[in-house]
Structure 1
Amino acid sequence: MTRFPIFPLPGAILYPRLQLPLHIFEPRYRAMVGDSLVRDRRIGVIQPQRPQDGAPLYTIGCLGKIGDVEATEDGRYNIILDGEARFRVLRELEVTTPFRQVEAELLIDNESQALAPIERASFEREARRFADAQGYSVDWEQVSRLDDFSLINGVSQIAPFDIAAKQALLEANDISERCELLVQLMQFFGRRVDGDDDGVTLQ
């Protein structure tokens, strides 16, 4: 078990080995970053279940370590969080700090896990179809050189899905399960876009 401050941010997802740039301007989160910088530089990124202040948290988030940091003259921060490990919240702590803190267990993902060739091929085929439908420009040669862990987590982090879908991807037990869910979501979202259905949601 470990204890750390959390940044409950709707729509923000971080994965191990990936990065998340953040602009910190609220006083409570400026205090959180300042406190983290003099401790171990670690902050948990997790989604609240509702966008209201103090809302209950989802159970799974990702612990990040502050890498690059820029402090502005007016006390704000621009930081880059480097993803270290997913975590499961055990309990939220009663604290006197302006920012929330949790006690959590770290989840160790198998970063060397590989997809079956048919899984990788199916994913890349669906990703090309989805990117074309969305009008995205993708360097597919560079994509083909990514290992499975970086590829699936990277797409999961930036995919234009709603909060519930992003959380489901983060909670997937392994790369194979996350890949399968990602393909399903791209197919679903792609069909809705093809149908010109406004207000697409995956909730």
Structure 2
Amino acid sequence: MNIEKNAMPTHRFVLPFERLPATLPIFPLRNAVVMPGAQLPLNVFEPRYLNLVFDSLGAERMIGMVQPDSAAKGEHQPKLYRTGTAARISSFSETPDGRLLIVLTGVCRFDIREEIPTTRGYRRVVPDWDRFRDDYELSGPVPGDPGKIMELLKEYFQRKNLNPNWPVLTQLPLPVLVNVLITQLPFDVPERQALVETVSIEERYAKLLGLLEFEMVAARVGTDAKPH
């Protein structure tokens, strides 16, 4: 799992909430979200998105990740979900064949107020940050039993044959852990988007817990139903 241990809003490279940009270039990508405090690696090769990265590196280093909404049809380009996450380019490297390998670190979610025209191939929006000021507060307690989600995760990772970095996961504040799991776990697009749009960490934690519990119950039933 990609985690930046110092990716809290007080990180010296993170813009203060009051200085978040008035416009934001966006990278619409299905099943790719990056919640605040989590990291997302991207392989960038399309010319328009290379333009986006280079332009961002020359400005605030901020990119908005928004999922396309396959249920809504656009006339010329895919419709977008209303809510995404702004992330900073925390590292990048070039490849000999002309690609960029970048790592995005999530900063703050936003709602799309409007889309504005551009001349560089990629899309740009006017973000509304107001609902997500609390994304800058990721260290507070979350009501509930932290041990419950860890037990579910042990079973989840075992069934998926995954070997996470447990020492790092167990040391994360619960709000950061929730955001990292939303970013990294292979949820369906509508499920992941519902988590992205959930404002409070308490509700987000409850929804995440519910999804994990449902999947584990379904997996147990499926295993029990198989002939021996």
**Do both proteins adopt the same fold according to a TM-score greater than 0.5, normalized to the shorter chain?**
yes
Q: 1:35 aligns with which of 47, 52, 55?
A: 55
Q: Please say if residues 48 and 121 of structure 2, whose CA atoms lie closer than 8 Å, have aligned partners that are also in contact.
A: yes
Q: How does 1:136-151 map to 2 (within 5 A)?
A: 136-151=162-177
Instruction: State which drifts further: 11-20 or 127-136.
Output: 127-136
Aligned partner of 1:85 in structure 2 is 108
Q: Please say if residues 56 and 63 of structure 2, whose CA atoms lie closer than 8 Å, have aligned partners that are also in contact.
A: yes
Shift, 1:140, TM fit: 4.2
Q: Please say if residues 27 and 49 of structure 2, whose CA atoms lie closer than 8 Å, have aligned partners that are also in contact.
A: yes
- Against the structure 1 CA distance between its residues 59 and 119, is the aligned structure 2 distance closer, same or farther, given a 3 Å change threshold? farther
Aligned partner of 2:40 in structure 1 is 20
Aligned partner of 1:47 in structure 2 is 67
Q: 1:65 aligns with which of 71, 82, 88?
A: 88
Q: What CA distance in whole angstroms lies between the structure 1 residues aligned with 2:160 and 2:59?
A: 42
Q: What CA distance in whole angstroms lies between the structure 1 residues aligned with 2:188 and 2:81?
A: 14
State TM-score, norm by structure 2.
0.78
Q: Secondary structure at the match of 1:2?
A: coil
Shift, 1:146, TM fit: 1.5
Question: Is 1:6 paired with 2:26?
Answer: yes
Aligned partner of 2:208 in structure 1 is 182
Q: Percent identity?
A: 31
Q: Secondary structure at the match of 2:102?
A: strand
Unaligned runs of 5+ in 1: 198-203
Aligned residues: 196
- Against the structure 1 CA distance between its residues 101 and 128, is the aligned structure 2 distance closer, same or farther, given a 3 Å change threshold? same
Cα RMSD (Å): 2.2
Q: 2:140 aligns with which of 107, 113, 120?
A: 113
Aligned partner of 1:170 in structure 2 is 196
- Against the structure 1 CA distance between its residues 142 and 77, is the aligned structure 2 distance closer, same or farther, given a 3 Å change threshold? closer
- Measured against aligned partners, the alpha-carbon deviations of 1:167-202 in whole angstroms (never above 9, x if no partner) come to 1111111221111111111122223333449xxxxx
Q: What CA distance in whole angstroms lies between the structure 2 residues aligned with 1:12 and 1:95?
A: 23
Instruction: State which drifts further: 106-115 or 135-144.
Output: 135-144
- Against the structure 1 CA distance between its residues 40 and 140, is the aligned structure 2 distance closer, same or farther, given a 3 Å change threshold? closer
Q: What CA distance in whole angstroms lies between the structure 1 residues aligned with 2:164 and 2:91?
A: 27
Q: What CA distance in whole angstroms lies between the structure 1 residues aligned with 2:150 and 2:176?
A: 14
- Against the structure 1 CA distance between its residues 142 and 72, is the aligned structure 2 distance closer, same or farther, given a 3 Å change threshold? closer
Aligned partner of 2:157 in structure 1 is 131
State TM-score, norm by structure 1.
0.87
- Measured against aligned partners, the alpha-carbon deviations of 1:103-157 in whole angstroms (never above 9, x if no partner) come to 01222223232112x3323322322332333333345454332211211111111
Instruction: State which drifts further: 141-150 or 16-25.
Output: 141-150
Q: Please say if residues 130 and 187 of structure 1, whose CA atoms lie closer than 8 Å, have aligned partners that are also in contact.
A: no
Q: What CA distance in whole angstroms lies between the structure 1 residues aligned with 2:207 and 2:105?
A: 24
Instruction: State which drifts further: 122-131 or 3-12.
Output: 122-131
- Against the structure 1 CA distance between its residues 89 and 135, is the aligned structure 2 distance closer, same or farther, given a 3 Å change threshold? same
